[in-house]
Amino acid sequence: MSSARSHVSMQNKYDRVVLLVDMDCFFCQVEEKQHPEYRNRPLAVVQYNPWRGGGIIAVNYAARAKGVTRHMRGDEAKDLCPEIVLCQVPNIREKADTSKYRDAGKEVANVLQRFTQLLERASVDEAYLDITETVNHRMQQMQSGAFALQPQELVNTFAVGYPSIGDYVNKITNRFANPYMDDERYQMSYDQNDLPAVRQSDIRLLIGASVAGEVRAAVKKETGYECSAGIAHNKILAKLAAGMNKPNKQTILPLTETASLFDSLPVGKIKGLGGKFGEVVCETLGIKFMGQVVKFSEVDLQRKFDEKNGTWLFNISRGIDLEAVTPRFYSKSIGCCKKFPGRNNITGLKTLQHWLGELSSEINDRLEKDFIENNRRAKHMVVQYVQDIDGEEVASSRSTALRDYDQESIVRLSLDLIKANTKTFLRPGSESALNNAIKFLGISVGKFETVSSGQNKLQEMFANQAAKKRRVSGDEPGQLPKVEMEKKQKQTDEFKMKSFFANYLQGAKKEDAKADGISANPLAAAAGAPNKNFVEEYKHKLHAAVRTEGTVLTSTPAEFKESFFSQYLKQQKKTGQQGSVTSREDSLDVQELAEELDAIEADNSKDFEEDTEEETELTSDTHMSKPEGQSSDAGQEQDPNTLNDSTGNDLYVETGIVPPTLTEDELKPSTSKRKFDEIESSVSNYKECYVEFAVPNLRTDILPTIKCDQCGANIPDEVKSLQTHRDHHFAQELSRTLRSTEREERTQSRQKISLKPTPPKKSKKTAGSGSSSYSTAPPSNSITKFFRAKPTQEQAPSDPQMNQCPECKAFIKCVDMPEHLDYHVARNLQRELNQQDLRTRTAALNKEKISPVQPKKQSQKKLNSTISASSSGTKTIAQFFSQSN
């Protein structure tokens, strides 16, 4: 395994569609979700710090509107915005604890992961998705009519270089009608070999944007979090684009717009050039903007910087970035650190041991969780520290191999490493005073190795359980080959179960964090019997839950009765009785436990029903019993949503498996997860599912009326009615616009040389469409040109270089076939968009209405009004989207 990043080949530089999903002020959103009462209020997250109200690390948009920014102190924020809510990052072990945000980030990533295998988590709140396959697939589907772009997905979409997304769509439609519209420009700017990709770029990015819309909708629906996204042909551009319209927006960076964008784009805006290197580049080249780099030759850049950086700069300045999206869900290392500035310098051995203990404790906890989730163990450890040596800050890091470990051994190893690498560790003559004060401490572990399932009982349990599930769910009517289905199934099941365990464990750990110095360690026991302390904790937790909620709810909390663990136990009990279990030891242990748990649950064994469809947001807090000694401010409750995310119902809904203990009626197949799976597994009914998925329920009742700004009539203030009315006005405007458009196109047609006409198979009924007029009108230049890449050479159908188009039966040059097929794609795109019924567009309008309006984004408003002003079924996409003037 080389550490070098993988890259795509230069030929494929425009072939990918890459998405960057970036959560909007993520920490704030996490706090808002956890405290619904804070919603719609200005809010900032501060790190605990007694000085001037703490340091602000995240600001929501309501607070930003008041001028609150990061790098401010809490007090300053209060001055600017007295009503601001300041949330503190929880403090555990006397240091900031960001696990809440890590968990939330993982929750989001779990949603993202369903859209592609090629998911790269770039940070806690950012991920790259290579959606090339999906886009390509949809290109094909569009030709068969199995997929249609949904305008409402594009309402929150921007395209760099275009006033509104409508103009971008307009451009695409026009180019489909006249595929070589921009070719002169293209041929000047791009290599001949790249032209096919360049011509396809816009439509593929547009489809990418529709995927992005779905991704973001799914994230919102399933986690409650909003995000922004960038859509481009590579990571650098996707990242750049994502930042251009926020929050809750997505931005396409069209290939052909990068050059002009770069002309005024400060170098530092490019990821990788934001720091020192970027400064050096600017100084060395005497430039400010990205576009100015193109003036330098590759060798020149290589000479000024180095070979690698030179080439990289050369390419990046042209919008080319070959770095692959490297699938990575889990981090390669786990670490934590803390600064000890000024008076807090560590000067004594005891203090050093204390802090090493705290850091080790956190590392250990996270390793336990990671072990359960990912079945891997760290084999390597690094301790980093900054010492004060003669008034100088000297940073060092030392590493060692990690075998079996627990908190104490991590402490011991790190201390030994520091000792061994410090000339004079203790002050001469002292037993406890450090010779060099420590200003910074960090421990990180990595080089993970997967634990083979043979030595791991917990893993066997999961494997067995997954195997049983597969048997239960024998005849799923899936489209995928059975083996593939099962493979996916197993992964999901195991993952979900592990997640549950992990989340559960974490919740328990947090409770005990302060009460108990050294917690039990599953890793230490991993090679032995099944995880006893784990099970004990589960029991403890169940007890606690029943105790605290029993009086109110009279039933076992949902997260227990529907947990994987619970399901698993039930299943185990059944199969155990049948005496057909793979691992007898396991089953015995588990059966014992199952009986014990049954006893705990015994007094509330009734109503095992209802609320299987509960929204995440509505989930009530899980009340854990707190250890006596725990201070209130350090107490952190398990995020109810995290727990909820892993309940049994979710699994079954998501995977489509009928759980052994639930009836079919209890499985309401109406969550977005379910729908998405249907979409993915069944192309044929994609559209139905999709439309259902895309259209929110409209409340048309109890709405006041509003005055039409054009005719003054009173209309119900409800989008559908409003729109219907406006359509009336629009229709008049439309006919005028259409006539002039068509006139213009005819004029253009006449100016060009008409070649052998090969009209598409059928003329369209679509009335009044400027683009469709190409198909209804006599063969015009543009289409003909499309069929003939080189007008001068006329090819007979018998020519071996010719192929018959399966769609329209015309004979096309092989090299032009892809583009020709694009043409049909375009036709379909247009047709499908035209057929969008009022309802979907109404929904889009509705959706846009409730999202925050950016004052500067005029174009968005225009798009909005244009959409609402259009009537259904008779116009081209361009007219649906673009401004009519």
Partner DNA sequence: CTTGGGACGCTCT
Partner DNA sequence: TAGAGCGTC
Nearer to DNA, 26 or 495 (CB): 26
Structure tokens at 373: 């989730």
Contacts of 667 (CB under 8 A, 6+ apart): 612, 652, 653, 658, 659
C-alpha 738/C-alpha 871 separation (Å) is 14
| 191 is an annotated ligand-binding site residue | no
* 4 is a site residue for DNA (CB under 7 A): yes
The contacts found for 275-281 with CB under 8 angstroms, 24 or more apart, are 277/309, 280/305, 281/305, 281/313
Of 13, 199, 249, 338, the residue at the interface with DNA (CB under 7 A) is 338
Backbone angles phi, psi at 42, to 5 degrees: -60, 135
Q: Shortest Cβ distance from residue 326 to DNA (Å)?
A: 6
Residue type, 716: P
267-to-231, 323, 828 alpha-carbon distances in Å: 20, 19, 41
Burial 624-658 (b: 16+ CB within 10 A, else e): bebeeebeeeebbbbbbbbbbbbbbbbbbbbbbbb
28 is in an annotated binding site: no
Q: Which two tokens mark 843?
A: 């929904």
- Residue 298 bears catalytic tag: no
CB closer to DNA, 135 vs 413: 413
Smallest gap from Cβ 112 to DNA, in A, equals 15
In the complex with DNA, which residue's Cβ is closer, 398 or 539?
398
Identify the residue among 175, 271, 469, 725 touching DNA (CB under 7 A).
271
Task: Transcribe 263-294 into DSSP letters.
Answer: HT-BGGGSTT-SSHHHHHHHHHHT--BGGGGG
- Helices 457-472, 564-578: inter-axial angle, 10-degree rounding: 80
Question: Nearest-CA neighbor of 571 among 651, 476, 665, 488?
Answer: 651
Known binder of ligand: residue 7? no
Residue 725 annotated as lining a ligand binding site: yes
Stretch that binds DNA, among 339-347, 681-689, 739-747, 870-878 (CB under 7 A): 339-347
Select 195 or 437, whichever has its Cβ closest to DNA.
Answer: 437
Residues of span 276-335 touching DNA by CB under 7 A? 276-278, 306, 308-309, 326, 328, 331-335
Residue 272 within binding range of DNA, rule CB under 7 A: yes
Give the N- to C-terminal CA distance of the chain in Å, as an integer. 58
Task: Name which of 336, 365, 361 is nearest 533 in CA terms.
Answer: 365
Q: Identify the residue whose tokens are 């009742």.
A: 701
Q: Which is nearer to DNA, 434 or 443 (CB)?
A: 443
70 assigned ligand-binding residue: yes
Is residue 353 a contact point for DNA (CB under 7 A)?
Answer: no
Among 163, 446, 660, 818, binds DNA (CB under 7 A): 446
Positions 695 through 724 that interact with DNA (CB under 7 A): none
Number of residues this chain uses to bind DNA (CB under 7 A) = 58
Alpha carbon distance 419, 440 (integer Å)? 15
Residues between 383 and 402 that touch DNA (CB under 7 A)? 395-399, 401
Which of 82, 342, 391, 428 is close enough to bind DNA by CB under 7 A?
342
Nearest distance, CB of residue 670 and DNA, angstroms? 34
Residues 24-63 as x/- pattern, contact with DNA by CB under 7 A = -----------------------x-xxx---x-xx-----
3-class SS letters over 229-250: EEEECCHHHHHHHHCCCCCCCE
Q: Within 13 Å, how many C-alpha atoms sit on residue 368's CB side?
A: 26
Is 726 annotated in a binding site? The answer is: no
The one among 106, 204, 239, 675 contacting DNA by CB under 7 A: 239
Nearest-angstrom CA–CA distance, 57 and 25? 9
Q: Note if the bond before 778 is cis, omega within 30 degrees.
A: no
Nearer to DNA by C-beta: 50 or 391? Answer: 50
Coil/strand/helix, residue 39:
coil
Q: Which of 184, 181, 170 has its CA nearest to residue 782?
A: 181
What is the footprint of DNA within residues 496-555 (CB under 7 A)?
none
Residue number, 100 or 824, with CB nearest to DNA? 100
The three state secondary structure string of 620-666 is CCCCCCCCCCCCCCCCCCCCHHHHHHCEHHHHHHHHCCCCCCCCHHH
x/- string (CB under 7 A) for DNA, residues 67-106? ---xx-----------------------xx-x---x----
Among 32, 120, 126, 718, the active-site one is 126
* Token pair 């005497």: residue: 286
Q: Quickly count: other Cβ atoms within 10 Å of residue 519's Cβ.
A: 20
- Residue number, 286 or 341, with CB nearest to DNA: 341
Residue 35 assigned as binding residue: no
543 is in an annotated binding site: no
Stretch that binds DNA, among 127-135, 440-448, 691-699, 715-723 (CB under 7 A): 440-448
Site string for DNA, 118-137 (x = CB under 7 A): ----xx-xx-----------
**Cβ distance 220 to 208 under 8 Å?**
no
- Interface with DNA by CB under 7 A: which range of 268-276, 403-411, 746-754, 840-848? 268-276
Give CA torsion, residues 286, 290, 295, 301, to 10 deg: 70
Per-residue tokens: 729: 């006005």
Instruction: Tell the smallest beta-carbon distance from residue 89 to DNA (Å).
Output: 8
At 689, which amino acid appears?
A: C
442 binds DNA (CB under 7 A): yes
Q: Is 423 in the site for DNA (CB under 7 A)?
A: no
Question: Which amino acid, residue 353?
Answer: Q
Residue 183 labeled ligand binder: no
CB of 762 to DNA, least distance (A): 49
Three-state DSSP class for residue 545: helix
Residues 354-383 that bind DNA (CB under 7 A): 362, 380
Measured from the CB atom, the residue of 298 and 611 that comes closer to DNA is 298
**Residue ranges in 402-421 that form contacts with DNA under rule CB under 7 A:** 421
Minimum CB distance to DNA smaller for 334 or for 821: 334
For residue 117, give the 3-state DSSP assignment. Answer: coil
- Residue 728 assigned ligand-binding role: no
Comparing CB distances to DNA, the nearer of 389 and 715 is: 389
Q: Could you tell me the smallest distance in angstroms from the CB atom of residue 370 to DNA? A: 9
Rounded least distance, CB 537 to DNA, Å: 23
C-alpha span between 857 and 878 (Å, rounded): 20
Q: Give least dist CB 852 to DNA, A.
A: 21
Q: How far is the CB of 114 from DNA (least distance, A)?
A: 22
Cβ atoms within 10 Å of 720's Cβ, excluding its own: 18
Tokens of 698: 């409209």
Give the per-residue contact string, 168-187, with DNA (x = CB under 7 A; - = no).
Answer: --------------------
3-class DSSP state for residue 375?
coil
Determine the Cα–Cα distance for residues 773 and 786; give it in Å rounded to an integer.
16
Catalytic positions? 126
Report the binding-site residues for Zn(2+). Answer: 708, 711, 725, 729, 805, 808, 820, 824
Residues near DNA, by CB under 7 A:
3-5, 47, 49-51, 55, 57-58, 70-71, 95-96, 98, 102, 122-123, 125-126, 239, 271-278, 306, 308-309, 326, 328, 331-339, 341-343, 362, 380, 395-399, 401, 421, 442, 444, 446
Known binding positions for Mn(2+): 22-23, 125-126
